Structure 1
Amino acid sequence: MIVVPVKEGENIERALKKFKRKFEKTGVVKELRRRQCFDKPSIVGREEKMHAIYVQKKNLSEE
């Protein structure tokens, strides 16, 4: 559970902003979207390989 301490006289918008920031850091929404559909392990592995190739090419082009 996310707890946001609010100081005396603090603006409610500022407290909401703190809450939203903490909520995003937990990664709940990201995990929820990832779990909405099932991905076969072969597809997940293929995507990881493609991402690794992309990162490697990007790093080589920077050098």
Structure 2
Amino acid sequence: MKLTIDEAKCCGAGQCVLAAPAVFDQREDDGVVILLDAEPPAAEHGNVREAATVCPAAVISIQE
């Protein structure tokens, strides 16, 4: 699994961080997503898929 994010479209809702805190974080100043691990371990794949599903701005892209 490889992840990319579109920071320009991020609305800072933080749902990704709640779903996968080991993979995503947010900038302090504006809440925009920070990708901590572009190739997360298999144990995080379910959490990452959930994060992508609940993201209101659909900024998380997953390549399997």
Q: What's the TM-score, normalizing by structure 1?
A: 0.25
Structure that is richer in strand per residue: 2
TM-score, length-normalised on structure 2? 0.25
Larger Cα-atom Rg: 1
Q: Which structure has the highest helix share of the two?
A: 1
Tell me which of the two structures has the higher relative contact order, counting C-alpha pairs closer than 8 angstroms and 6 or more residues apart. Answer: 2
